[in-house]
């Protein structure tokens, strides 16, 4: 064997070992997401920007049929490492004594928007520029389309009507329509007057020209802008290995959030190109820009937890036992993983 051949073989062996080492270094993390809503913005950004790979993680992401309850069930069974869900359902489970803990806020505001048809605004003589009181008063007798009767959209809609001094039981009609595409079609075909969803649904309707966002809940009600509406949840107690995985996962999400806040247009383009190719780029960009304030300060506070507990109660969530936001720190919510990820 010549000296040149030995060098070539040795170099090839080093390269193979290097590639193998990199492959072995990739640690699997399994994250379940309750819905495909873009309001889980840090997760979409991290997937689009490959932030997990930068932390040595091999992401297994799954949209979980059946929403938050099924996602939590999969987490409890050990089929997932973490879940991205609305905060209301795990709080309800925690009040029953189930072992869940919030480890990162994914959207620190209620991202729901009330979207109405042009036909409704014309009939009622109302527009998004009118005072809030007039916009809420216009909802008397309106038909709100929802994905599930007594679900989150139904309860939030009735809560909104009540803020305008209307009777949520009598002054709002609720129709079970189905998932977001069905709600969009029903609004366009004048079967319903309104629906309540997170972005980009409102931006899609405005782009297509048959409706407008009449009320952005977080903009209209300041306390809804100071609560962890969507959260990353772990099962407790976490082993040392699972905590280390949580830190890497949160580090990837924090990096993606920072990149999104710094360059929302660029991140939106990456998300649109990779996951929402059928949605116009400007629609995704508008939705991302609308939600960047909800990811700019990814940290829990006792006041924010108290707000989300209060909002859940006001919208009809029943807790088996009272939850104390302040005493809940390092029990059902923690900043320890975020702090470790920032070091």
What pLDDT does residue 25 have?
65
What pLDDT does residue 144 have?
98
Question: Mean pLDDT across the stretch 270-278?
Answer: 94
- Least confident stretch, 142-156, 163-177, 288-302: 142-156
**Domains of the chain, each with CATH number or no CATH:** 8-110+226-342 (3.40.190.10), 113-220 (3.40.190.10)
Residue with tokens 């042009």: 118
Residue 37 — very low, low, confident or very high, per pLDDT cuts 50/70/90?
Answer: confident
What pLDDT does residue 249 have?
98
Residue with tokens 């949160």: 250
What pLDDT does residue 319 have?
94
Length of the chain: 343
Question: Mean pLDDT across the stretch 253-272?
Answer: 97
Question: Mean pLDDT across the stretch 297-315?
Answer: 94
Question: Mean pLDDT across the stretch 254-260?
Answer: 98
| Separation between Cα atoms, residue 205 and residue 112, nearest integer Å | 14
Question: Mean pLDDT across the stretch 190-203?
Answer: 94
Instruction: Pick the more confident residue, 12 or 105.
Output: 105
Question: Mean pLDDT across the stretch 59-86?
Answer: 93
How far CA 221 is from CA of 22, 109, 167, 226, 321, in Å, comes to 48, 10, 19, 10, 27
Q: Evaluate if pTM is beyond 0.85.
A: yes
Answer whether residue 98 shows pLDDT above 60.
Answer: yes
Question: Mean pLDDT across the stretch 183-200?
Answer: 95
Answer whether residue 322 shows pLDDT above 90.
Answer: yes
Answer whether residue 5 shows pLDDT above 50.
Answer: no
Pairing mode, strands 194-197 and 113-117: antiparallel
Q: Report residue 167 as tokens.
A: 């009777």
Instruction: Pick the more confident residue, 152 or 20.
Output: 152
Q: Enter the DSSP assignment of 333.
A: B
Instruction: Pick the more confident residue, 24 or 25.
Output: 25
Burial 147-158 (b: 16+ CB within 10 A, else e): beeeebbbbbbb
Quote the mean pLDDT of the chain.
91
DSSP letter string, 86-132: ESHHHHHHHHTT--EEEEEEEESS---EEEEEHHHHHHHT--TTS-H
| Separation between Cα atoms, residue 84 and residue 38, nearest integer Å | 12
| Separation between Cα atoms, residue 171 and residue 161, nearest integer Å | 8
Residue 7 — very low, low, confident or very high, per pLDDT cuts 50/70/90?
Answer: very low
């Amino acid at each position: 064997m010549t000296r040149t051949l030995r060098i070539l073989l040795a170099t090839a062996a080093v390269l193979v070992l290097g590639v193998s080492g990199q492959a072995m270094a990739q640690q699997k993390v399994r994250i379940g997401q309750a819905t495909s809503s873009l309001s889980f913005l840090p997760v979409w950004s991290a997937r689009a920007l490959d932030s997990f790979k930068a932390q040595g993680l091999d992401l297994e992401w799954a949209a979980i049929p059946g929403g938050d309850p099924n996602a939590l069930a999969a987490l409890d069974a050990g089929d997932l490492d973490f879940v991205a869900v609305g905060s209301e359902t795990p709080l309800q489970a925690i009040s029953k004594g189930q072992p869940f803990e919030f480890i990162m806020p994914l959207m620190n505001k209620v991202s729901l928007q009330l979207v109405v048809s042009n036909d409704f605004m014309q009939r009622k003589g109302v527009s998004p520029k009118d005072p809030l009181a007039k916009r809420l008063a216009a909802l008397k007798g309106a038909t709100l389309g929802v994905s599930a009767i007594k679900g989150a959209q139904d309860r939030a809609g009735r809560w909104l009507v009540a803020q305008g001094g209307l009777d949520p039981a009598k002054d709002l009609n609720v129709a079970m329509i189905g998932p977001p595409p069905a709600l969009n079609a029903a609004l366009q075909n004048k079967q319903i007057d309104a629906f309540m969803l997170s972005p980009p649904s409102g931006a899609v309707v405005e782009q297509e020209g048959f409706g407008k966002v009449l009320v952005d809940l977080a903009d209209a009600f300041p306390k809804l802008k100071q609560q962890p509406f969507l959260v990353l949840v772990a099962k407790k107690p976490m082993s040392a290995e699972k905590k280390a995985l949580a830190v890497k996962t949160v580090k990837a999400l924090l990096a993606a959030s920072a990149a999104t806040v710094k360059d929302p247009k660029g991140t939106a383009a990456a998300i649109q190109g990779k996951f929402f190719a059928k949605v116009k780029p400007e629609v995704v960009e508008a939705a991302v820009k609308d939600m960047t304030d909800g990811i700019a300060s990814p940290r829990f506070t006792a006041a924010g937890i108290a707000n989300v507990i209060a909002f859940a109660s006001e919208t009809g969530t029943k807790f088996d036992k009272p939850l104390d936001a302040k005493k809940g720190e390092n029990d059902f919510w923690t900043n320890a993983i975020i702090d470790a990820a920032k070091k």
